[in-house]
Amino acid sequence: MRPVVLPPNLVPRFYRGGAAIAALRGIDAAAERTPEEWVGSTTTVYGERELGLSRLPDGRLLRDAVAADPPAFLGPDHSAQLGPDPRLLVKLLDAGERLPVHMHPDDPFARERLEWPYGKTEAWIVIATEGPGATMHVGFREEVSAETLERWVGDQDGQALLDALNVMEVRDGDVLYVPAGMPHAIGEGVLILELQQPSDFSILLEWKGFASGEDEASLGLGWDAVLPCVDRSATDPDRLWGDRLPAEADAFFRAERLEPSASAELERGFAILLFTSGAGELHSEAGEPLSVARGDTVLVPWDAGTCRLEGDIAGVACRPPAPGPGGVV
């Protein structure tokens, strides 16, 4: 089974964006509110049966292909310990406007209240920004009381919510780690590669002008149920921000930078590759080399064996969590 270049898989959302994805991927610009591409996805948009799922070049849904032969795609250890689920969702996200202040529930809440095994811990790798001054807002600068948070959300005081967050001015290559529960907002004019747990649960603390109402903003559960999920503690941004993912992210996903090289060997295993510059060839044990270039997204199955990247090409390899002893990650 050879690595394959994946076709585009654009997903409409409630916020503006998409032009930067089209430019990177070399495709025609879609509608104004198509700001995400779900890459190598076996996950659906919340409430949808198929939207969000990726297709292979032969037209099969990747989800179905993986389910039919998990060891070939994911490897014997992963499939034996973690099942036929890659446990990974990779996205390109183009913020054509500032996103609202929001957060994502953790695993226990998702299992108990949403009947899904995963919450949403995520990480962002900045691919491009529209000039200097691009910002991310992550985690409260100071501890916020439950009463204050409830008042801000009830009054829809978006400015108070935003002002209470750490502000990080980002540039190409920066990496931010965002654990489940942590409030955040992505600034306008940022193109990111996002690695996350495979779910689509967002709780919009700032919903006015973005969601249809409080029911949608709170996932239909109401504020009394979801506000306790919010991490109200003071957050040190240096814990989340750097040039690589922190070790604690390994339990959820892994990322490896691919630098231009005469020949660079890739760790064997399931991976989603995004190439951000240059051109080259991806060699595998499964057949002829695959020509790759800036903007390509490539799925590498376990069965491809050990791969080698050659040429003046750079990108990122996104991987699932590594199976741990006894199947615990």
Tokens of 37: 């591409």
Q: Which residue has the higher pLDDT, 294 or 327?
A: 294
* Domain at 254-327, CATH from 3.40.50.720, 3.40.190.10, 2.60.120.10, 2.40.420.20: 2.60.120.10
Q: Which amino acid is at 116?
A: W
Q: Which amino acid is at 47?
A: G
pLDDT, one tens digit per residue, over 271-301 is 999 999 999 999 999 889 999 999 999 999 9
Tokens of 23: 């430019």
Question: What contacts 276, CB < 8 A, 6 or more positions away?
Answer: 24, 127, 294, 314, 315, 316
| Beta strands, E only, 210-250 | 241-242
Give the pLDDT of residue 325: 54
| Rounded Cα gap, residues 9 and 255, in angstroms | 21
**In what order do the strands lie in the sheet containing 203-204?**
165-169, 135-140, 184-186, 102-103, 203-204
| Rounded Cα gap, residues 118 and 49, in angstroms | 18
* Domain at 4-249, CATH from 3.30.70.20, 2.60.120.10, 2.40.50.140, 2.40.160.40: 2.60.120.10
Question: Domain map of the chain by residue range?
Answer: 4-249, 254-327
Question: What is the average pLDDT score of the chain?
Answer: 95
Q: Above 70 in pLDDT, residue 329? A: no
Q: Which amino acid is at 103?
A: M
Prediction pTM value: 0.95
> What is the pairing mode between strands 261-266 and 307-319?
antiparallel
Q: What is the DSSP string of 89-104?
A: EEEEEEESSPPPSEE-
In this chain, the answer to whether the domains covering 4-249 and 254-327 adopt an identical fold is: yes
pLDDT classification of 327: cutoffs 50, 70, 90: very low
Give the pLDDT of residue 204: 98
pLDDT, one tens digit per residue, over 37-47 is 999 999 999 99
pLDDT, one tens digit per residue, over 94-120 is 999 999 999 999 999 999 999 999 999
N- to C-terminal Cα separation, the chain: 27
Range of lowest pLDDT (139-148, 260-269, 306-315): 260-269
